[in-house]
Amino acid sequence: MRKLPQEIIRAKRDGGALDAGDIAGFIAGLTDGSVTEGQAAAFAMAVFFRGLSLDERVALTRAMTQSGTVLTWDLSGPVLDKHSTGGIGDAVSLVLAPMVAACGGYVPMISGRGLGHTGGTLDKLGSIPGYDATPGLHRFRAVVRDVGCAIIGQTAELAPADKRLYAIRDVTGTVESLDLITASILSKKLAAGLNGLVMDVKAGSGAFMGTLDAAQALAESIVGVGNGAGMQTMALITDMDAPLASAAGNAVEIAYAVDYLTGRRREPRFHTVTLALAAEMLVIGGLAADTADAGARLEEALASGQAAERFERMVAGLGGPSNALGVSADVLSVAPIIRRVLPERSGYVTGVATREIGLAVIGLGGGRTRPQDDIDHAVGFSELARPCDAVGTEAPLGIIHARDENAADIAAVALRAAYRIGADAPGIARAIHKRIG
């Protein structure tokens, strides 16, 4: 007999251990609706404060995986994926999936919407008219088979329990729970039937894990549970003390990704992180002998235009325009107010309160404060300055894309407050801190 949800919540609230049956029963109730939103929120908060043991974490991951369909594949290459714990200007997934596909991997990427102060890959893709982020499994399989990659959201069939809990975590202050992050990420990836997973665990002022120690703990948790579940898993801990790309928002990040794939613009820090993650995927999948070999193959996929072509085919396959690369500027939403934000004094960027930039995007309407909120795909920031950049009258902190003048005024105040300016340029921080697994 399934325990009452409130009894399971009470046990965890008081620091007790939950057995696999209790966890499976609670997740089954979350899936069929017998567990209320309030109970799910209370469970998430209890886990946030009390934590889960490794056995409880594995049980939660497995229960969420088994709450829906678990895919199997019959393809000519390895089934691989990368997942980020979230950051500002993190448009890596948009370009990495087609890059790996161009090198012989298959990437069925199941991504999420914005979570907390961070942007979501699905919200970015929602900027593209016609793009279907929640296709049926038949269409999803077909695009992965034909193109090599497809980036979608959780459908009703895949890890539905996680889909519901994910939205609740976003608005209840429980996003940062190591245990819930681990189960959320891995339940989706296991449901996707992956052979291998590379994790991008962010550390810094714009990450959920603000310190390297916290990021390492999460990376080790994910690598341990993933490998324990039979899926090759490793992680890189990367820096999020500044926006990774110079764009933060939805349509602005799609435009940034198109520029990257077509070679119009490849910022060094973004390129370094993207290449490192994609190279680890090729090695895990047996498509390259080592990361140096993988890096050379990925650079060729970019230079030849094959990665860009895969992106365009993926967009078309999921309902978007057939010539997304050529018409991106025409089809993407454009905000009516576009304004440069100058610093209060000239100098060099010595630090960025990156989380505040993410919150400013939400303030513009580019993110959610409630699961049911609509978002404005056009708003955000572009040309964001990063540490070591010189700023002044000719070099702005960034460009605001806003719906109206009042929103732009508020965003300008937030953007200036997020930057520290000094007379001397600081040392350049490492883009990649550590490899786990």
Nearest-10 Cα torsion for 379, 380, 381, 387: 180
Q: Any catalytic annotation for residue 205?
A: no
Q: Any catalytic annotation for residue 189?
A: yes
Output DSSP code: residue 88: S
Q: Any catalytic annotation for residue 188?
A: yes
Which residue out of 174, 184, 238, 328 is catalytically annotated? 184
Q: Where are the alpha helices (DSSP H) in 390-429?
A: 405-418
236: alpha, beta or left, given left = phi > 0 and alpha = psi -120 to 50? beta
**Pairing mode of beta strands 398-402, 380-382:** antiparallel
Q: Any catalytic annotation for residue 184?
A: yes
| Closest by CA position to 382, among listed 357, 363, 403, 359 | 357
**Pairing mode of beta strands 149-152, 107-110:** parallel
Which residue out of 61, 85, 121, 238 is catalytically annotated? 121
Which residue out of 12, 57, 62, 82 is catalytically annotated? 82
Q: Any catalytic annotation for residue 82?
A: yes
Rounded distance between C-alpha atoms, residue 16 and residue 9, angstroms: 10
Beta-ladder partners of 110: 152
DSSP assignments along 127-173, one per residue: TSTT--SS--HHHHHHHHHHHSEEEE---SSS-HHHHHHHHHHHTTT
Nearest-10 Cα torsion for 110, 113, 114, 119: 60
Please report which helix (H) or strand (E) contains residue 297, including its range: helix 291-303
Which residue out of 57, 62, 83, 117 is catalytically annotated? 83
Task: Tell whether the torsion through CA atoms of 53, 59, 65 and 68 is positive or negative.
Answer: negative
Angle between helices 54-65 and 20-32 (to 10 degrees): 30
Which residue out of 113, 164, 189, 297 is catalytically annotated? 189
| Closest by CA position to 121, among listed 250, 265, 270, 308 | 250
Based on its alpha-carbon atoms, the radius of gyration of the chain, rounded to whole angstroms, reads 21
Q: Any catalytic annotation for residue 121?
A: yes
Asked if 343 contacts 416 with a C-beta cutoff of 8 angstroms, the reply is yes
Which residue out of 57, 169, 269, 313 is catalytically annotated? 169
Which residue out of 22, 81, 123, 259 is catalytically annotated? 81
Q: Any catalytic annotation for residue 435?
A: no
Q: Any catalytic annotation for residue 83?
A: yes
| Residues acting as catalytic residues | 81-84, 121, 169, 184, 188-189
